[in-house]
Amino acid sequence: VLSAAHVRWGIAGPGEIAERFVAAMGAAPAGRVVAVASRSRERARAFAERHAIGRAHGSYAELAGDDQVEVVYVAVPHSHHEAVTLLCLAAGKHVLCEKPLALNARQAERMASAARQHRRFLMEAIWSRFLPAYRTLGELLAAGQIGRPLLVEAEFGFRMPVMPAHRLFDPELGGGAALDLGIYPLQLASLVLGPPDRVVAVGAVGDTGVDELVAALTAHPGGGVGVAKAALRANLAGVGRVVGESGTIELAAPMHDPRSVTLTSESRSDVVPCAYDGDGLRFEIDEVHRCLAAGELESPVLSLDESLALARALDAIRADLGVVYPGDSA
């Protein structure tokens, strides 16, 4: 039974991450997925049946027009984030949009403007930020456990065979390591040191025209430094590290989903377990529910201005590497 207290979600894009989202919603009692949409009605129906979702739409416009839906989880490829998000916002829906918010900063700015204009909630789905480990990180920093943070380094990389048809290698879909994986280390540096004011990158671009290996440096207000690495070509250890004047906090690998945090200061190390049950997406879902209940149109944990700064950082990285998407010209 769907009570009035339930937040009613629609899902745009019944892919792999949407499967995780539905599983995570099971642990978030305040919400319920009531609809799903795909460009293929068949795919939408199959997904709806698999998850006992009442309504299956054959287009995103149908989903945007569904008056049972309050908030849409946009889980289509990066290249379509903007179009689907604008459609939903214009129809009065709130939106949680998968990371990266858009293909480039210009698209992201249009999305943020639309959310503000229509007075609807919009957040980039950087789920890691809402995990227990990230809360612990914030508490340790706030308590001054490592003094002033100076350096944030993190990485996310794995080796996969080059598959030109796979979205990660396809410029049409906004492929490449930076947008899909690099956003995680970048957001960690931004979280700890503030949004970057300069970004430089080097890397390797593969035959399909996307970045398969990238390292970026970010300069932050006050002199903080970020080091972000991402790769589709090599396995990276995946640790996240905040080095402060008097100690280091380490997010266990993988830093986008750490299950423990280690604080090292002077000669002593303490491990803080940050385990949790179920799918980690549930913490960002809780935050959306909290914001909607409180009438907040942006999360204080991840503002639209910060998402725009991250989008500009990704633009700068691609500019340094010479990666251009067909969608950039739109």
Which residues ranging from 228 to 247 are in contact with a second copy (CB under 8 A)? 229, 231, 233-237, 241, 243-246
Give me the least distance between CB of 129 and a second copy, in Å please: 23
Instruction: Specify whether the CB–CB gap between 182 and 214 falls below 8 A.
Output: yes
Beta bridge partner(s), residue 211 = 205
* Catalytic site residue from 51, 57, 81, 99: 99
Residue 203 makes contact with a second copy by CB under 8 A: yes
Which residues ranging from 117 to 156 are in contact with a second copy (CB under 8 A)? 150-151, 153
Q: H/E element holding 240? A: strand 240-244
In one-letter notation, the amino acid at residue 243 is V
Q: What span, in angstroms and rounded, lies between the C-alpha atoms of 279 and 261?
A: 19
Give me the least distance between CB of 309 and a second copy, in Å please: 16
Residue 159 makes contact with a second copy by CB under 8 A: yes
Residue 198 makes contact with a second copy by CB under 8 A: yes
Beta bridge partner(s), residue 155 = 229
Q: Which of 201, 281, 308, 316 binds a second copy (CB under 8 A)?
A: 201
* Closest alpha carbon to 38 in 25, 21, 55: 55
Q: Is 99 among the residues known to form the active site? A: yes
Residue 161 makes contact with a second copy by CB under 8 A: no
Please, which residue, 245 or 270, has the CB nearer to a second copy?
Answer: 245
Q: What span, in angstroms and rounded, lies between the C-alpha atoms of 97 and 102?
A: 9
Please, which residue, 99 or 241, has the CB nearer to a second copy?
Answer: 241
Q: What span, in angstroms and rounded, lies between the C-alpha atoms of 167 and 15?
A: 12
As a dihedral over the C-alpha atoms of residue 141, residue 146, residue 148, residue 149, rounded to 10 degrees, the angle is: -80
Q: What span, in angstroms and rounded, lies between the C-alpha atoms of 27 and 279?
A: 8
Q: Residue 35 has which token pair? A: 């609809």
Please, which residue, 227 or 272, has the CB nearer to a second copy?
Answer: 227
* Closest alpha carbon to 200 in 318, 307, 37: 318
Residue 176 makes contact with a second copy by CB under 8 A: no
Please, which residue, 91 or 215, has the CB nearer to a second copy?
Answer: 215
Which residues ranging from 246 to 285 are in contact with a second copy (CB under 8 A)? 246, 248
Give me the least distance between CB of 255 and a second copy, in Å please: 15
Q: How many CB atoms lie within 10 A of CB 74?
A: 29
Please, which residue, 81 or 233, has the CB nearer to a second copy?
Answer: 233
Which residues of this protein are in contact with a second copy, per CB under 8 A? Answer: 150-151, 153, 159, 198, 200-204, 213-219, 223-225, 227, 229, 231, 233-237, 241, 243-246, 248
| Residues taking part in catalysis | 99
